[in-house]
Structure formats: structure tokens, C-alpha cells
Structure 1
Amino acid sequence: MALILWHNPRCSKSRETLALLQARGITPELRLYLNDPPSRAELEALVDKLDQPARALIRWKEAKDSLDATASAEEILDHLARTPKLIERPILIHDTAARIGRPPERVLEIL
């Protein structure tokens, strides 16, 4: 089972999620998405795996000046591809599913 964690080591929830997985003997591949930003196509595929709307990927407190509630899914994905710091974190991705680790225990749903 391939697991990839979109991780920001400066984020406490991201660190908690990684620790939670490691405590269960799971070592996901880490993708430091701020250094290796996802493409628009990767974000679109991620939305399909999350089974949530694109707006679930947004860190709204940080995006309030650049996106509003009327933004379409296409506008959101384009904006996140250009500005990866606005992507909610952490995100655990499995072959067929993904979960945002808010709270960290949510990632356990896809294991």
C-alpha cells in the first residue's frame, strides 16, 4: 500500500499526523509540497480521492484575501497550483483515497 503524506514540518498538525502514523509502524513517503508543489492535474486527482469539494483543500484563514466563497472549483484548483502555501495540511494519499489530517486521526480512515 503506497502512502504519501503531503507534509509541512513547520505545521503542528502535520507533525502530529506523521507521529500518529509512525506510532502505528507506518512510514509514508513524505512530500514537502511547499518545495515540490503539486500540479493542477495532481490537485484535481486529489479532489477525486478526497471525495470532498475543492474548497476543502483551502486554508481559508490564509486565503481570505485571495479567494472568496464564490470561487469555482476550477478557480480554486488554479489558485492552489500557483500558491501551494494555501493548501490545507497534512494530506495522506493512498492509491484510491485521501484524507486531510484535521484532526490527525482522520487519516486513519483510509488505512
Structure 2
Amino acid sequence: MEIWINPACSKCRTAASTLDEAGNEYTQRRYLDDPPTVAEIEDVLARLRLDPWHIARMNEPIAKEISLKDVPKDDAHRADWVAALAEHPKLIQRPIITLDDGTAVVARDDETLARIIGT
């Protein structure tokens, strides 16, 4: 299991703390310091079964700076979205947890965390 976190994010700290308390072993990736590649983002999107615009943090200032809201949300522009996420990892929703079974979740709520730890 791997968790992509930003230590400044309260949701990330809560997720890591919940995993710790449950005794789950995981690798922590500070994705702002170690940005994911385009291939890694595509892998996570496949695991999540989501499109890149579903995990984009549109309220981040960089989203406005690069006019991300103007990029169409369609297959023809998917690579543009993924490239933006790779170039500006702060745009990636957090925390993302990749599970050993090949799936992944965006663990922003207690219910999702409970499913992961099996409670």
C-alpha cells in the first residue's frame, strides 16, 4: 500500500494516522517532493477508474494560472490534463492510497478510510 500525501494537508495527516492506528503497513510518498510521472498518474487513474479532471484540485491558484478550467474534459484533451497534473502535482487531489489489490482510493472521508482498514 502506498499513500500520496502532502504533510501540510489535514486529510493526509488523518489518513496516515488512521492507517498507523490500524497497524497497516504502507509506503508514504510526499508527492510534492517526489512528483509522479505521467505513467504513474495514468496508472493511478486506471486504479481509481477516474479521469484526470476528477482528481484535479481546481481551487489551487496554479489551476487558474494555467487556465485549467478552459481545457475540455474529454478524451481528446485527457493527455493535457494528465500533463498538467504531472507538471503541477499540487493539483492532484489528496490523499490517494494505492492498494495491494490493484485498486486505489481518494481517502478524504472516514468511510473510505474505514473500508481500507477493514472496519
TM-score range, shorter chain: 0.7 to 0.9
For 2:40 and 2:97, locate their aligned partners in 1 and report how far apart those are by CA, in whole Å.
Answer: 14
Q: Which residue of 2 aligns with 1:53?
A: 51
Superposed displacement of residue 105, structure 1: 3.6
TM-score norm. by structure 1 comes to: 0.88
What letter corresponds to residue 9 of structure 2 in structure 1?
Answer: C
Larger Rg: 2
Residue 99 (structure 1) aligned with residue 100 (structure 2): no
TM-score norm. by structure 2 comes to: 0.82
Structure 2 gap segments, 5+ residues each: none
Structure 1 gap segments, 5+ residues each: none
Q: Which residue of 2 aligns with 1:30?
A: 28
Q: Which residue of 2 aligns with 1:87?
A: 92
CA shift in 2, pair 1:35/1:26, >3 Å? same
> How many matched pairs?
109
How much identity, in percent, do the aligned residues show? Answer: 35
For 2:27 and 2:4, locate their aligned partners in 1 and report how far apart those are by CA, in whole Å.
Answer: 9
